[in-house]
């Protein structure tokens, strides 16, 4: 992460005296952060999908797997006529697998045109790799510029669908996808609102900036949902993100909710980290956030 003394920091952020006065000074050791993230890791291919995993049926819905050029996507929307607000679902590091597809179906049942993609398709199917270290190593090579370009293509595709109302566009994502919610909202002016679930706050060579570094550039409402017992995202890092928004007067535009004593991945119902009560509460808050901010 950038430090106060880093002269290459984006203008108006780490060099801003007001911001510096709000940011905790204890440094975050990147190696320890990565080690903690791996310790909390879960490779989709290494563990059986738990029986608790939610399976939303396609009854009353239309959609399925498709492609935008060479980009694999999945979408779901209620059958019928009329356009529905669009929610772009950004996957975890495992890419496009059943969890993201089910989220699209859940959103469709709630009245949305849910669409997701595999940001990592050029790297292979990361959901089939059993070693979480290998998954992270591959995922960490995806540069934001490439990811954003692919997402832009999916947004353009959605804008041409007769059931999608792209003038009401939301975005949500979990873990790496949660980080991308913040980053893409700063990039894509068509986004109306976002909800980031435990979005990562670390860096890689291909992703040198974090949401903390671009709080001045996020000008649309984004709700952050974090876990108080997340081994990979210490509370101090969440406080840094909060401080960044506060420094630019955006604490109401981009509020953060921290659920105490729950682990990273508390919404991932196919994993042992799932916490039903908090996951359901956060889902309700997400839908309310989109409705409050015109994506409904």
* 86 Cα distance to chain centroid: 16
Given the residues 254, 264, 267, 269, the one annotated as active site: 264
Name the percent of the chain in helix, strand, coil, to the closest 5.
35, 20, 45
Residues 54 and 244 sit within 8 Å (Cβ to Cβ): no
Residues 244 and 20 sit within 8 Å (Cβ to Cβ): no
Given the residues 102, 104, 175, 269, the one annotated as active site: 175
Cα angle 37-50-102, degrees, rounded to a multiple of 5:
85
Per-residue buried b or exposed e for 121-153, using 16+ beta carbons within 10 Å of the residue's own CB: bebebbbebeebeebbebbbebebeebbebbeb
Told to judge if 104 belongs to the known catalytic residues of this protein, a careful annotator would answer: no
Told to judge if 174 belongs to the known catalytic residues of this protein, a careful annotator would answer: no
DSSP secondary structure letters along 216-246: GG--S-EEEEEETT-SSS-HHHHHHHHHHHH
> What is the C-alpha separation between 45 and 128, in angstroms, rounded?
5
Told to judge if 264 belongs to the known catalytic residues of this protein, a careful annotator would answer: yes
Given the residues 230, 254, 267, 269, the one annotated as active site: 230
Which residues are annotated as catalytic?
175, 230, 264
């Amino acid at each position: 992460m950038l430090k106060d003394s880093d002269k290459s920091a984006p203008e108006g952020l780490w060099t801003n005296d007001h911001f510096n006065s709000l940011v905790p000074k204890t440094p975050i050791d990147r190696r320890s952060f990565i080690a903690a993230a791996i310790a909390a890791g879960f490779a989709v291919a290494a563990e059986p999908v738990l029986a608790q995993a939610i399976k939303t049926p396609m009854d009353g819905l239309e959609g399925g797997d498709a492609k935008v050029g060479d980009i694999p996507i999945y979408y779901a929307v209620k059958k019928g006529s009329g356009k529905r607000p669009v929610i772009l679902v950004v996957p975890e590091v495992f890419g496009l697998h059943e969890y993201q597809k089910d989220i699209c179906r859940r959103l469709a049942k709630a009245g949305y045109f849910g669409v997701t993609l595999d940001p990592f398709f050029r790297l292979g199917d990361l959901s089939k790799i059993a070693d979480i270290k290998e998954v992270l190593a591959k995922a960490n090579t995806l540069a934001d510029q490439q990811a954003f370009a692919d997402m832009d293509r999916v947004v353009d595709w959605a804008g041409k669908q007769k059931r999608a109302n792209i003038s009401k566009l939301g975005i949500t994502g979990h873990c790496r996808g949660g980080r991308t919610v913040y980053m893409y909202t700063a990039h894509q002016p068509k986004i109306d609102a976002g909800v980031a679930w435990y979005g990562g706050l670390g860096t890689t060579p291909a992703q040198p900036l974090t949401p903390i570094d671009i709080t001045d550039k996020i000008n649309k409402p984004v709700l952050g949902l974090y876990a108080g017992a997340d081994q990979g995202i210490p509370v101090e890092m969440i406080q840094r993100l909060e401080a960044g928004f506060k420094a630019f007067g955006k604490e109401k535009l981009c509020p953060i909710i921290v659920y105490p004593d729950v682990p990273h991945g508390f919404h991932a119902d196919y994993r042992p980290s799932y916490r039903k009560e908090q996951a359901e509460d956060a889902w309700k808050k997400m839908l309310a956030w989109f409705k409050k901010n015109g994506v409904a």
